[in-house]
Structure 1
Amino acid sequence: MREFYCYMQQRENEGTTLLRGGRLFQQYLVDAYTAVEEQRLKWLRNRQNELRLDLYNNVCDAVTRGDTKATSIGKRIILPASHTSSPRYMVQNYQDAMALCREFDNPDLFITFTSNPKWPEIEGMLSYLEGQRPPDRPDIVARMFKQKLDPLMNDIMKSHIFGTTEAGIYIIEFQKCGLPHVHMLIWLTHDCKCKSPLDIDDIISAEIPSQTHDPEAYKAVTEYMLHGPCGGKNTDAPCMVDRKCSKNFPKPYYAETTIDEDGYANYRRRNNGEKVSKGKNMLDNSFVVPYNRFLLLKYNAHINVEWCNRSRAIKYLFKYLNKGPDRATIVIQENLTPIENSSVEKVTEVDEIQNYLDCGYLSPCEAVWRMFSFDIHFSQPSVIKLSYHLPNQQAITVHDSENLPALLHRESIKETMFTQWFELNNRDQKARNLTYAKIPIHYVWNQDAKEWAPRKQRRCIGRIVYSNPASGERYYLRMLLNIVKGPRSFEDIRRVDGTLHPTFKDACFAYGLINDDKEWTEAISEATLWASGSQLHDLFVTILLFCNVSKPLNLWEKHWEALADDILRKKRKLYNYPELILSEAQAVLAAVTEKKGGLFFLYGPGGTGKTFVYNTILTKLRSEKMIVLAVASSGIASLLLPEGRTAHSRFVIPLELMENSTCGIKQKTHLADLMQQARLIIWDEAPMTQRFAFEALDKTLRDILAAKDEANRGRLFGGMPILLRGDFRQILPVIPKGKRQEVIQACIN
């Protein structure tokens, strides 16, 4: 900036009007910072040919093969997360924010603070510059916004105007017109949380104050906190989309603050007759943006304060904070005629650095903000990213010219944040009582010394790097890190109750982390905290394609004992005597082992343990190498069953069912042979299916199983034990335009 002011002084001495020409000044700021940004990106691009990232054991393998040049290994780094405002930088901030959410639960307040170009300080400074307006001097606007933002955060985080705070984050954004604004999320301690609508009314208002009794607040609200006019009052407003306000103004009136079923607060907006003239329109409380009176009067700017503690859209808030600037990319290239008999396919390479330059918009105010090195992102407490790796698979960075054998003998090459955690546990008794994620709360990582030291000031929380379920042992290692405390080696992580297991996956089995596909449920549950819809779809498909797991045959006894313990410990709402659940499960197993057949129905609402019972039965019988067919009436329910299928798919049930329908299973086919070898059929969501489907299966099984024993022709379902499950209070069979009695008649009853 000193060079910049020297440049301005030189141009002024030359008789130019640079100081008076706002557009020239803005363009200079943008060009100046663009040059700085391009130099940083140029450095990263040039380093692409030198820096490579690879696993330590791959380097060892390369040395074993006789390779001595680093050019033979590794992968390129394109645009790292260390570059401010890069896509990876924003993703890292988002995941850090979600780590705070996991630690402190949902945030309490969502605040948006926008710069005010009419602040007296800005106008006073511009009074010394003839003909200058706030848009002409983004340096003044940016510096004044920073001087307002710091006291605002002090009021919230240190002065505790909303109560004692546990955490807070913010991200700076810049409007196309140049004005900066900040989005922040605030966590309050349990004692200071808003526990009722009256508590919300104490800190947030959405009404126009009385001009007589509170003229200062009336002036501030009417100047900064009114939305619109829009809707029917102004159909050409910028917020109008498809003839509706995208911000849902005007809001309905409420006599008192309420919280709807989705967790949103409907602030008190009484129709008390208070109105404000704005242009040709009169605006009332339905157009007021929620605000806090103290902050509004102190900072004289648009400060929107929203309560968000119970909102179901918390993940959206975090994504909104870290979405980054809007970007769009389009490539236009000549449609070349392909060369005949050519086997080479032209591939368009994605250049992240070039995309960042081409698609980014840099406003003058943002250029000033970056040149002054003001923070774009703020987090308190800070979040440290905890890396981990399998034995001898730590990531290292090497140069193309580096000699690999010498690299392996480099001092501290095997010392990483993860391995030094083992060393910390060896020497510190207190650390042995903590999991890996809790270590940063009490210890700080010294990158230069490569060691963990006791933390003396500033709170910090840890975030273990996410691992995809398809990554194999690394994924299971991460699961263990969430529960194992104080290991001193990789072997200690795999040791369970004194037994050293050969793999991390086996250790997860021993802990019960992946029995009954629990690991996939936890993987999806964890991903829902931060992943978008498309990312969740990709994860689900990855699990289906690459993460099939077979259960060990020696775990059914623990599962069976857990069933009995769970039933005796928890009083189920459905049964007066919880022991009935265990006895009914035993009756099903007896019908299978004694080959006496039977029809059973496991009935109960959600949460009463139906899934636990039939999963236990499945685990026991399949552990004894018995074939159990698990089917469901719907595709979604079938996905929740271990090796489940839909009933129509498994039994070839006709889509159009009639009283005399049968399944499409023919004698002496592979499917008929499967029916003969099966020992039990479990049918989930049975009340959803028409009774004709069960009657069709009954006829088919009588016919097929009669080939083994003619007596089966006269037995229900041919003597095959059938366990049905469901809840009649949920969806029943759908009868188009059917009456109540017709729906009841179609049910299995």
Structure 2
Amino acid sequence: MINKTMLTEFFLMNATNKDAKELNLLYQDFSQYFVWSSSYKIWTKRIRGKIIGRVVTSHPTGGERYYLRLLLMNVKALKSYDDLLRVMVYVVRHLEDLQKKRGLLQSDNDLIECMSEAACYQMAYSLRRLFAMILVYCNPDNPKKLWEQFKDSMSEDFKHLQNFTKKNIHFVVVKHINDILHSMGCDINEFNLVPKIISSSKVTNEAKEVYFERNINVSDEELLLHQKLNKEQNKAYDIILQRVFANKSRAFLIDGSGEIGKTFLYCALLATVRSKGFIALATTTSEVVASILPGERITHSHFKIPINIDEKFSCNIGKQSSLASLIHDEKLIVWDEVSIKKKYD
């Protein structure tokens, strides 16, 4: 039996509640007028206070989850899962088919919305990866138009390169997107984003990652982050950097409850070290919080840590590899969410 959820009770309210029927609401707007009780698993009418509703985001490669979200964002007063399917008069086998028959995917509006939303909080590097994913898996009707609309957002981290014109920066971005596409078995020339043919890169994926780490740009805004630290943050900032620039190895644990500014401190440290021409690596344990820090990557992927480990495990990094050289040259490693890792990591 399916347990009660916010969505199933949203269906029930639209079917049985007079107020819900009259309001004729989208799922994302429902919380503006009704309050969810996690204890009793019911919606009740909102008496006071205002709130902005939102629906958890889903990547375009998320399959049915993504298309279910798209339907909920566009169809009002749904009363059941079957009601989702009856919107188009007859039940179709896949949600994606339903989307197409509703006409929601006849244009790139949903992809534009996805990119616009991601551009509000994703780093440019992650935005380029998302764009590559869309090209490969979502079959946009007009890839060039999508590129023209978001090329500036995807170029933010390259805008501070000296002696580079806007056109040259966009070309560098296209090259990087092409590298990402190559890792998926595709080529950017298939999508006709720019008139010039982009040559294939023969550099290994590892070498590309190392090149990116060695060429992360620091914005003027990031350079000023250390000036906004509070007293406790500034104390940790000074102690850590003193060790870093004195070439004295040391491990520090920044601990505390949420919303105390740990991530802000990490960003300030990374910006300061990188602005002086040194390498600072940003990694995280959890994929959920990846890309919060500039240049951040999953630790297991970055350091080639095996999934199944014990006290005898070793990372799969060759002594003469470019990744080994990168780690040797780094000045600082920031490992976010390290406290939830196993002790052998």
Structure of greater Rg: 1
TM category (shorter chain) comes to 0.3 to 0.5
Which has the larger helix fraction? 2
Q: TM-score, normalised by structure 2?
A: 0.47
Which has the larger strand fraction? 1
